Chain A
Amino acid sequence: MNSQFPVNPSFTKESLKKQFRLSEFLAEKIISSVAFLSIAIIFLIFIFVFKESLPLFSFGSDAKAKTEIQGTAKPESYGGTTTEELKPESYGSEPVSNADLKPETYGSDPVSTEDLKPETYGDVKAETPETTATETPEAVSENNEGADKTWSTFFTTEWVPVSENPRFGLIGLLIGTLKVTVIAMLIAGPLAILAALYTSCFASKRAKEIIKPIIEMLAAFPSVVIGFFALMVLATFFQSIFGYESRLNAFIGGVAMALAAIPIIYTISEDALSAVPKTFTEASLALGASKWQTAFFVTLPAATPGIFAALLLGVGRVFGETMIALMATGNAALLSSNPFESVRTFAATIGSEMAETVFGETHYSVLFFIGSLLFIFSFALNAVAEFYVKGKLIKKFQGK
């Protein structure tokens, strides 16, 4: 590119030595520190998501201080600033008259926002003195009301975050999340793996070039679009077939999430299947096995670790999927094994309730706590997929 290059006829040992150049040094340092940023982001995500849930862990005297902070923090709270955005969310489940939704309400009309405030804070204000009042006798002896009380409700099944006596039972949400995940994986797993097997083992090169991009195009469908499709079309369609009661349920959510998980599982399994050394298939074919026998009994078992990784990442995707869960699962934390009942998942709970909470409130902390659980879970899944599976693959193919 540079037409001029230094012409130096007298090379000495000195001139050939690698020189220190400030610009080079700076460039390298800047580039590696930017690269460091992605590591930093992971840590920051963990720290800041976890930090907001810290009040839950402040047992003892801190718990009392927390309730005081809660009181003073109200004016600069997160919820107060977005009252106009908040309103439709908090009242969304109830039929709202058109008058309430008028654009003027969302402008900077001071009267309407003033009107709103007592409503949004109503239960919070009513709740704070209530809890402190009822807890004081206990607090004298134990002095660890807030945090302990919240923790004890975690292992119950009731999720009633906004009431005079809030209960944060995570069991119901956990069961809901698992139910949707199992349904989605039961559909997505076999479909995606079989499709990957066809693409890598049976399809002609031409067909492969067409099939692969089309299935990967499914990954370009935004999850809100899939959720919308499930809500508007799938829900009605399946209800007319099976005739169950609640239109939105775990099954619909699972089917929709399967659509989101298929491209991930497909792509990674296909890569894993294609990465199986040719010698494996050639040996099998040379021994007289047919093409399908080779595919099912040689290629597929050899690629198991990779397919396992694909399934793990699929689970991660479904577990944390928010928009589809919000739109298609019905969002009622019911405790039943019936797949045609409404469920509420962890991610959907965060998505639908975060905007209603007040900064520093227990509910707010609990939602962040659920968030850190989700983060840890997806981090662990990725780590397992990465290290365990990679190690296995290397062992398998190189015989080390």
Chain B
Amino acid sequence: MDKVNIELENQFFSSEKKGSDIKGKFFVGVTQLAVFIIIAVLFIILGIIVYQGRAKFSWEFISSFPTNGMTEGGILPALIGTFILVIVMSIAAVPFGTITAIYLTEYASENSKFAAAVRFSVRTLAVVPSIIFGLFGLGFFIQFLGAGVDTAFNGGELRWGQPNILWASLTMSLLTLPVIIVSVEEALKTIPRELREASLALGATKWQTIKQVVLPGSVSGIMTGTILAVSRGAGEVAPILFTGAAYYLATLPGSLSDQFMNLGYHIYIMSTQSSDVEKTMPIQFATTLVLLLLTLSLNLVAVVIRSRIRRRAK
């Protein structure tokens, strides 16, 4: 109602002041132009990558190994490496993210200092440059944990104290933790207070309420968070630059202590350090197309689920 009124009023006033109308149109036009430029650039990027990548993009490209010194063939190992990375990452990040979100919405009191510190840390984690996570992965996981495990259990033999899938995935899980926490928190907040109170009034304890009432209601939120985290993790390269990504591997990784190939890293390597950048251009564009399709479609799914959650909240 309010909105309609304002708009009517506004039309009335602006029709009276013809003089400032041109100026007004100019300013509104400038803001419109900004929106237009951003959206146009977005679709230009998408269009060029689709256009250049479609020639090489095929099932064969996705399902075969690179051949001939990575100048021909497909991207299967990079794709599988990316999948393993995001799966291990989700296994590590989703439980922690969900529990932290449960703490923030269910247990933390309004003006608890501890909860404020947790919130601040989560937001800081979200803005720390991704390369810092890579450094942390190298310094903490590989040099400290990995090397420690090696001296303690492997008798000093080098197995975990070097870059591998596990450390890369754990590094990536730190990066995607805030994404999950924020999504789950948002979903938990949409569960009506009455449901919780009804459960408590029936004699259920707090933990029982969370387990039986709150968590089942927030499954879609956890899913959204996981999907967004996977989409983020699949596209990030900086954290895995020196925690496990490999240039080329002739075989698929067999265990968590192996190195792996990764789509984003593959694009980076192929476009900057390849022996023949010109010749492999179609491969690079097709790889970029695969990565972009992967992240964008995951995001689209997350947006759809999220809008459903929001509709439920209304």
| Contacts from A to B (Cβ < 8 Å) | 1-2, 5-6, 21, 23-24, 27-28, 30-32, 34-39, 41-42, 44-45, 48-49, 51-52, 76, 78, 81-82, 84-85, 88-89, 92, 95-98, 100-103, 106-107, 190-192, 194-195, 197-199, 201-203, 211, 213-215, 217-218, 220-229, 231-233, 259, 262, 266, 278, 281-282, 285-286, 288-293, 295-296, 313, 316-317, 319-323, 326-327, 347, 350-351, 354-355, 359, 367-368, 371, 374-375, 378-379, 381-383, 386
Q: Mark B16-35, 1 if CB is under 8 A from A, else 0.
A: 01001001100110111111
What is the predominant secondary structure among interface residues of chain A facing chain B? helix
Q: Are A351 and B241 in contact (CB under 8 A)?
A: yes
Q: Are B238 and A35 in contact (CB under 8 A)?
A: no
Q: Are A322 and B242 in contact (CB under 8 A)?
A: no
- Smallest CB separation, B253 vs chain A (Å): 14
- Smallest CB separation, B11 vs chain A (Å): 9
Interface CB pairs A-B, < 8 A, 23: A1-B212, A24-B207, A28-B107, A31-B106, A37-B100, A41-B174, A51-B139, A78-B142, A81-B161, A85-B246, A85-B247, A101-B275, A102-B69, A194-B35, A199-B35, A214-B42, A217-B299, A220-B298, A223-B238, A227-B268, A290-B20, A292-B24, A350-B134
Taking CB atoms, residues of chain A closer than 8 Å to B267 are: 224-225, 228
Q: Are B144 and A221 in contact (CB under 8 A)?
A: no
Q: Are B212 and A231 in contact (CB under 8 A)?
A: no
Asked, given contacts A48-B140, A82-B163, whether A218 binds B42 with beta carbons under 8 Å apart, the answer is: yes
Asked, given contacts A217-B296, A371-B135, whether A382 binds B69 with beta carbons under 8 Å apart, the answer is: no
Chain A residue nearest to B43 (CB atoms) is A214
Per the bound structure, the CA–CA distance linking A226 and B46 in Å amounts to: 10
Taking CB atoms, residues of chain A closer than 8 Å to B71 are: 98
Q: Is B281 an interface residue (CB 8 A)?
A: yes
Per the bound structure, the CA–CA distance linking A354 and B138 in Å amounts to: 10
The residue from B115, B120, B123, B295 contacting A222, defined by CB atoms under 8 A apart: B295
Q: Is B58 an interface residue (CB 8 A)?
A: no
Asked, given contacts A106-B250, A232-B271, whether A42 binds B242 with beta carbons under 8 Å apart, the answer is: no
Q: Are A233 and B48 in contact (CB under 8 A)?
A: yes
Asked, given contacts A28-B107, A42-B125, A52-B143, whether A224 binds B268 with beta carbons under 8 Å apart, the answer is: yes
Taking CB atoms, residues of chain B closer than 8 Å to A76 are: 147, 158, 161
Per the bound structure, the CA–CA distance linking A58 and B41 in Å amounts to: 50
Chain A residue nearest to B9 (CB atoms) is A285
Taking CB atoms, residues of chain B closer than 8 Å to A347 are: 129, 131, 238
Asked, given contacts A42-B124, A95-B275, A292-B24, whether A322 binds B202 with beta carbons under 8 Å apart, the answer is: no
- Smallest CB separation, A273 vs chain B (Å): 11
Q: Are A39 and B121 in contact (CB under 8 A)?
A: yes
Taking CB atoms, residues of chain A closer than 8 Å to B163 are: 81-82, 85
Q: Are A198 and B35 in contact (CB under 8 A)?
A: yes
Interface size class of B (residues with CB under 8 A): 35 or more
Per the bound structure, the CA–CA distance linking A266 and B37 in Å amounts to: 13
- Smallest CB separation, A277 vs chain B (Å): 13
The residue from A88, A295, A320 contacting B129, defined by CB atoms under 8 A apart: A320
Q: Is B176 an interface residue (CB 8 A)?
A: no
The residue from A45, A102, A229, A296 contacting B128, defined by CB atoms under 8 A apart: A45
Per the bound structure, the CA–CA distance linking A217 and B79 in Å amounts to: 22
What is the predominant secondary structure among interface residues of chain B facing chain A? helix
Q: Which of B29-68 contact A (CB under 8 A)?
A: 30-35, 37-39, 41-42, 45, 48-49
Q: Are B28 and A198 in contact (CB under 8 A)?
A: yes
6 A-B pairs closest in CB distance: A320-B129, A222-B235, A198-B31, A194-B34, A92-B273, A35-B103
The residue from B102, B135, B236, B272 contacting A92, defined by CB atoms under 8 A apart: B272
Chain A residue nearest to B103 (CB atoms) is A35
Q: Is B259 an interface residue (CB 8 A)?
A: yes
Q: Is B313 an interface residue (CB 8 A)?
A: no
Q: Which of B105-157 contact A (CB under 8 A)?
A: 106-108, 114-115, 117-118, 120-125, 127-136, 138-140, 142-144, 147
- Smallest CB separation, A11 vs chain B (Å): 12
Q: Are A1 and B199 in contact (CB under 8 A)?
A: yes
Per the bound structure, the CA–CA distance linking A217 and B45 in Å amounts to: 12
Taking CB atoms, residues of chain B closer than 8 Å to A192 are: 34, 38
Q: Which of A81, A106, A323, A367 has the largest count of B CB atoms less than 10 A from its CB?
A: A323
Asked, given contacts A194-B34, A222-B291, A327-B272, whether A232 binds B124 with beta carbons under 8 Å apart, the answer is: no
The residue from B9, B181, B237, B245 contacting A323, defined by CB atoms under 8 A apart: B237
Per the bound structure, the CA–CA distance linking A231 and B212 in Å amounts to: 52
Chain B residue nearest to A323 (CB atoms) is B237
Q: Is B191 an interface residue (CB 8 A)?
A: no
Chain A residue nearest to B163 (CB atoms) is A82
Per the bound structure, the CA–CA distance linking A286 and B275 in Å amounts to: 67
Q: Are B136 and A81 in contact (CB under 8 A)?
A: no
- Smallest CB separation, A314 vs chain B (Å): 10
Taking CB atoms, residues of chain A closer than 8 Å to B226 are: none
Chain B residue nearest to A292 (CB atoms) is B24
The residue from A190, A218, A282, A313 contacting B127, defined by CB atoms under 8 A apart: A313
- Smallest CB separation, B249 vs chain A (Å): 7
Q: Is B248 an interface residue (CB 8 A)?
A: yes
- Smallest CB separation, A177 vs chain B (Å): 11
